[in-house]
Amino acid sequence: MPLKMNELSPKFKYEVSQEPGGKNIKVCFACGICTASCPIREIDQRYNPRKIIRMVLLGMKDRILKNDFIWFCSSCYACTERCPQGVRFTDVMNAIKNLAVKEGYIPPAFIQQIDILKQFGRLYEIDDFDNNKRATFGLPKVAKAKGLTKRIMEMTGLDKIISRKNEEKSETQVGNLGFKI
């Protein structure tokens, strides 16, 4: 698909650079060592760090935020360590994904994880059965989570983003992974 000027958002790069982790995106000089170092790019060509940076700098906001591939970063930091310009692309990806969530795009797996964290404070529930099992190995009891994670999610409004999503389930699916809230 060729670029159309009227579909670009020239300010997108500033939006990315104002998110935590995004501030260095503009110093990229496109050497491509991020792409060459990326273990995901090696497997799946849809995920290409240098291409993502160029698309952000050109203002291709919709095509970035709606796309599934932005969720493919494994956060291994190989690109971040090798980048000669200190772009810190792993952090830039987090900035981009945070923006995608603000626009309503989030993979269902993350919604499930947030629901679990809200309920149990951890990614796995540790119940009486687990604690009995732990006791047989001499491991200390794991206290039931006090709901502190839940309270933080309520404070920041994350729980609202997710419950809004739950009310509008299965509407306006974008791609295979991303969902419009």
Positions that interact with other proteins (CB under 8 A): 19-21, 39-40, 43-44, 71-78, 80-81, 88, 90, 93-94, 97-98, 101, 106-107, 109-110, 113-114, 117, 121-124, 126, 133-134, 137, 139-140, 142-143, 145-146, 148-149, 151-156, 158, 161, 177
Q: How far apart are CA 79 and CA 23, in angstroms?
A: 16
**Interhelix angle for 108-120 vs 148-156, to 10°?**
130
Residue 173 bridge partners (DSSP): 179
Torsion 47-51-57-59 (CA) sign: negative
Provide, rounded to whole angstroms, the least separation between the CB of residue 147 and other proteins: 9
Q: Based on CB atoms, which residue is closest to other proteins, 3 or 109? A: 109
Burial of residue 180 (CB within 10 Å: 0-12, 13-18, 19+) is middle
For other proteins, which is the closer residue by CB, 10 or 147?
A: 147
- In angstroms, what is the minimal distance from the CB of 112 to other proteins? 8
Based on CB atoms, which residue is closest to other proteins, 7 or 81?
81
Distance separating alpha carbons of residues 122 and 119, to the nearest angstrom: 8
The CB-of-3 to other proteins minimum distance in angstroms stands at 27
Structure tokens at 38: 């990326």
- When the beta carbons of 61 and 88 are compared against other proteins, the nearer one is 88
Cβ burial of 89 (10 Å; 0-12, 13-18, 19+) is buried
Q: How far is the CB of 50 from other proteins (least distance, A)?
A: 18
Nearer to other proteins, 8 or 103 (CB): 103
